Every structure is written in structure tokens, then in C-alpha cells.
Amino acid sequence: MAGRKAGTVPNRAVAAIRLGPKSVAALALTSAAGVAAFAWPLLAGEASGLAHSQDAPWLFAALLPLLLAVAVATVSETGLDAKAVAMLGVLAAAGAALRPLGAGTAGLEPMFFLMVLSGRVLGPGFGFVLGAVSMFAGALLTGGVGPWLPFQMLSMGWVSMGAGLLPGAGTLRGRRELLLLAAYGAVSALCYGLVMNMQGWPYIAGLGSGLSFVPGDPLQENLARYAAYVLATSLGWDVPRAVLTVVLTFTLGGTVLRALRRATRRAAFDASPSFARPPVRPPGTAPDPAGSSDAAPGPSGAPPGSSRTPPGSPKAPANSPEESGS
């Protein structure tokens, strides 16, 4: 292209999975179901059977994997090719390998750092799928498979998808981008713990009345109890997770972002195949004996390959006026 040096690539954001209308609708439906799964106790009345049902969490736990499968299948309808699958497998394996490093250690989970940066570079659709798959693979490694796993998959999908929705994906670079990602990583790490506490809080027995969920109580009272529960139980895990995410973003974020963008450019997820048109030979011209359409045109406008002088033979010098008159 004119005005571009050879070997350079435009600095722009490329989404590995391009979202169409159906994909957006599926993700919205899955997210809405997830919000209902997390927050239904706060909305249930005292006389509601749902508020006193012990099998409701299991019902939601069985429903969410189906919704996630629908979302993944719909997201892939517009471009989950072999290159995207390979990228998904590599990053999901890396995220799953990072999870055991912080499991059970004061809430330190380095996989949040990778999920945020991957979602930033590869887009919200890829980020949602990557977060869910990484959490599932990490649960298999750590033995953390249980009714809470679908909620963890959905929450981590939200974390990565949110990173892909941050502004300035194609223009913001350098320290300003790292600052944005570090701030988002800290907030998302805290919100992850906040949301995951909502999943188990209504079913934990043995807590005092100041921390327990009371079905049918006004929303503000249950929220006050929930805030006290978070402060008393999980905040000591959520804050170290947020701090570690910020530290890793500032120390390793630039290198990881460059590596991910380089891999994305080389994979060319959004490249469209194009085919060159064959050369059109003027009507009435003889085919090129050498079979090459790139031969230089012959003298006097002759078609390629029909040069009057055989290649390699010396040209006869033209007679000078003196010679012709002698």
C-alpha cells in the first residue's frame, strides 16, 4: 500500500471472535440468567417457595452450563476458526496453570491478570469464552468441581468480557493503557469476590443473625447483612487478589500485551481471503509460447512473447546514411 513501509502492520484492534446480533443476544441472555441465579434470594418474598427451596441452587447450577454452551456455540458462528481455537486452547491452559499457584494462599490468584489482558487484546466475545473455559480447566486441576463452578465460570467470563469492552482498544497504548487495565483489574477482582459470595451466602448455616440471609426481609436489610458478611469473611481474600493483579499488570503487562498483539496480527483473525484475477488476453492474439503472462510486451505493441527478434540474438545495426549512399 502507498505510504506504508514494508513489513509494518497497522496498529489496530483485532477481535478473534466477531460478535453478530445472535451472539450478542446469547451473551445477554446468559448474563441475565446469571444475574438471576446470583441475586434471586434478594428478590424472593417470605411466602415464596423459591426462598425456602434447598434445591434451587442445584437447578441454577444445572441450567448455567447449558446457557454457557449456547453462548459459546453462538459466539463461534461468525469466526471461531482453527486459529482462534488454538489461541483459546493456549491461553486457557496458561490460565488454568496459573490458578493452582494462588489457590488457598490469601486469595492470591495470578490468573486474573492474564484474563484481563487477554480480553483487552482479543475482544469481549473471545474474553467471555476464555474466562469460562479457563475457570473450568482450573477447577479440574485443583479439584474445585462443585455446584459453585458454573457461577465461577460465568463470573470469570464477565471479567474478561469487561476488559474487552474497555475504551481505547485501538488507540490507547503505553503507561496510560496499563493504568486503565490495572484499575479495571483491581475493581473486577473485588467484584468477583463480591459476586461469588452472593452465590453461597443464603445457604450457609450457623451464622449469627447479623450476617445471615433472612428470606422475605426488606432488600436494604439483607444488603446490610450481606455487607457485614463480606467484611467479616472474604474481604481479606479479595484485597490481596486485587493488589496482585495491579502489581502484575504494571510489571508484566507491557510485555504480555505486545506478545498477544503480535500473535493476533500473525494469526490475522479478521483477514478475508482474496484471489487474483487471471490476466485477460486481448482477442486475436497468440498465446505466449513460454507460458508466462509476465513477459514484457514486444516491439511495436506486439503481444507478450511475440518479439520479432529471438531472445539472445544480436540486433542488426541500422545502415547509416553514408553506407546507403556508397
Residue 148: predicted pLDDT: 81
* Grid coordinates belonging to 62: 444445572
Give the whole-angstrom CA distance, residue 137 versus residue 297: 63
Give the whole-angstrom CA distance, residue 25 versus residue 19: 10
Residue 16: predicted pLDDT: 57
What phi and psi values does residue 154 have, to the nearest 5 degrees?
Answer: -65, -40
Are 234 and 189 in contact by the 8 Å Cβ rule? The answer is: no
CB-side exposure of 253: number of CA atoms within 13 Å? 28
Sorted by sequence, the CB contacts under 8 Å of residue 98 that are 6+ apart come out as: 109, 110, 111, 114, 138
Residue 44: predicted pLDDT: 66
Query: Along the 326 residues of the chain, how does pLDDT read in single tens digits?
Result: 444 444 444 455 555 566 777 778 888 888 888 888 787 777 766 655 554 455 556 656 666 676 677 767 666 665 666 777 788 889 999 988 888 776 556 667 888 999 999 999 888 888 888 898 898 888 888 777 777 888 888 899 999 999 988 988 778 888 999 999 999 999 999 999 888 888 878 776 555 567 777 777 788 888 888 888 888 888 888 898 999 999 999 999 999 999 988 888 777 665 555 656 667 767 766 665 555 444 445 454 445 544 455 555 555 554 544 444 44
Are 156 and 98 in contact by the 8 Å Cβ rule? The answer is: no
Give the whole-angstrom CA distance, residue 93 versus residue 19: 24
Residue 107: predicted pLDDT: 65
Question: What Rg, from alpha-carbon coordinates, does the chain have?
Answer: 31
To the nearest 10 degrees (0 to 180), the angle between helices 175-200 and 235-267 is 130
pTM confidence score: 0.71
* Grid coordinates belonging to 192: 468477583
